[in-house]
Amino acid sequence: MALNHLDVDDGAIHPDTRTSLFLPSPQLADCVCAYVVRDTLDAPLSPKQRLSHLPVSPLVSIVWSIHGGRSSMHIGEDEWPPSSRRVVLRGPRTQPSVWQNHGPDVGFSLTFFPDAFHALTHLNVASLLDQARNLQTVLGKDWQQMAIAVLRASDDLARIQIIEAFLMPRWAPVRAPLSVTVPPDGLSLFNDWVDAVALRASTSTPGHSTRQRERRTKGQLGLPMRALRGLVRMESMLTRGHASNAFGGQSLVDVAHTMGFSDQAHFSREVKRFSGLSPTELQWAIETQESYWPYRLRQALKAR
């Protein structure tokens, strides 16, 4: 990837941004994946550094703009206009997208496993694919009141306490059929979750046709099982690749061979579809570019 000095400096990782990941209470570990805080208030960022490159993901998110609030989203060739919405519901992403903040901002996000979000809200997750909607147009008054309380909270821990006090009594009655044992190795998190989802899909609704089961599963998860498994494999590959390379270990290509990709061409096509970049370009971007901070969060999940 040929880049000149100006390109590197203009988008380079900035030392004054803050990105933090918090894990949920054990009672919510099979409902909430994580809470993420992104703070750029004290960082004078270039336009390139204010971008956030978001990979394909099966997760559903609620995103609060605690300070700031002006943003726009790009998916493929389409650009959504700037918005002053403070709380946005973001569905699973089937293609890489770019979120742009137009100034200093503190963002706080809550990420759900899609089947848990469906159980809590009864929304068809497939209808949220590649969507970012004003929360108040999608969810009821109790969710809206919780979202307002989070906006007004004094700090990150207070926000988490408000969310968990809201979710726990709602999650407890519906969690048993969806419960997944959280593994000690965070790299196995999504693999264990998708295996549990696949088992439920194959054993639920006896007497229904395969097509009916697939339609029901897609409504709960947003994506068919085959597509979901592909995303999970790429999640694991990116986490392992970034973690090992950061310590002078394997490259992404080496990791891909150990994860069962048929050949380098197959691997390159999947990475391009997942991120919009070749493996070499993606590895460079993760390690040097501010806007690829969402990919670096996958390393933090390793500790789970």
Q: How far apart are CA 190 and CA 196, in angstroms?
A: 10
Going from the C-alpha of 157 to that of each of 108, 161, 238, the distances in angstroms are 11, 6, 29
pLDDT of residue 243: 44
Q: How far apart are CA 42 and CA 14, in angstroms?
A: 10
- pLDDT bracket for residue 155 (50, 70, 90): very high
Given a cut of 70, whether residue 250 has pLDDT beyond it is no
Name the domain count of the chain: 1
Higher pLDDT, 166 or 209: 166
Q: Which tens digit of pLDDT belongs to each residue from 35-87? A: 999 999 999 999 899 999 988 888 899 999 998 755 555 555 555 444 446 89
- pLDDT bracket for residue 4 (50, 70, 90): very low
* Residue 294: domain span: 5-301
DSSP the chain: ----HHHHHHHBPPTT-EEEEEPPPGGGTTTEEEEEEEE-TT----TTTTEEEE--BS-EEEEEEEE---EEEEETTEEPPPB--SEEEE--BSS-EEEEESS--EEEEEEE-HHHHHHHH---GGGGTT-EEEGGGTS-HHHHHHHHHHHH-SSHHHHHHHHHHHHHHHHTTT-GGG--PPPSSGGGHHHHHHHHHHHHHHHSSTT--HHHHHHHHHHHHSS-HHHHHHHHHHHHHHHHHHHHHHTT---HHHHHHHTT-SSHHHHHHHHHHHHSS-HHHHHHHHHHBGGGHHHHHHHHHTT-
- pLDDT bracket for residue 170 (50, 70, 90): very high
Mean pLDDT of all residues in 206-226: 65
Q: Which tens digit of pLDDT belongs to each residue from 101-127? A: 877 889 999 999 999 999 999 999 989
